[in-house]
Amino acid sequence: MAKRKVPGLSKSKGMQSGFTLFPAGKYVFEVAGYQEKESEKGTTTLHNFRFKCLDALNDMAENQEMVDKTYFHTLIEMHDDHPSHEQWGHLFVDELKSFVDATGLEIKGESLDFADFEGLTFIGTVGVRDDKDAEGNPTKRNRMNKYEADVE
């Protein structure tokens, strides 16, 4: 078998766990993809979004490095039969409404097509919080803290 050049191999750090951690800050995002998945028990729907970072709204080099990177975000919709629906079910609706307002998606009444978000832009404030991975080890995770309209 012949040797073959693999660009980037010498600079690679190997497989990394988790996704790219965005430094805390404000970013302009474009909705680049959407998928929906039902939980195994059928009591929640996971609304999985892929956001492409178009710009970082501060001059810190680490934030600027996130331009063109992908940010993954999930909204969790609890169904009426979820044991915590009465207590926490409103969180999904409140966050979704903020997202709708920030993207400018026009809806009529109580229904929308989540695929209509694709291609829309908004400003997202991203935070970093302490968490634990699947093995219980300390790690950091991102959380979208605020949505704003991307107006120029």
pLDDT 10s digits, 32-82: 999 999 999 999 999 999 999 999 998 889 999 999 999 999 999 999 999
pLDDT value, residue 7: 77
Residue 36 lies in a domain: yes
Range of the domain at 139: 25-107+116-148
Confidence band of 17 (pLDDT split at 50, 70, 90):
low
pTM: 0.83
Q: Are 70 and 20 spatial neighbours (Cβ–Cβ below 8 Å)? A: yes
d(CA 48, CA 53): 16
How many domains would you assign to the chain?
1
pLDDT value, residue 152: 65
pLDDT 10s digits, 78-110: 999 999 989 988 999 999 999 999 999 999 888
Residue 130 lies in a domain: yes
d(CA 69, CA 66): 5
Residue 125 lies in a domain: yes
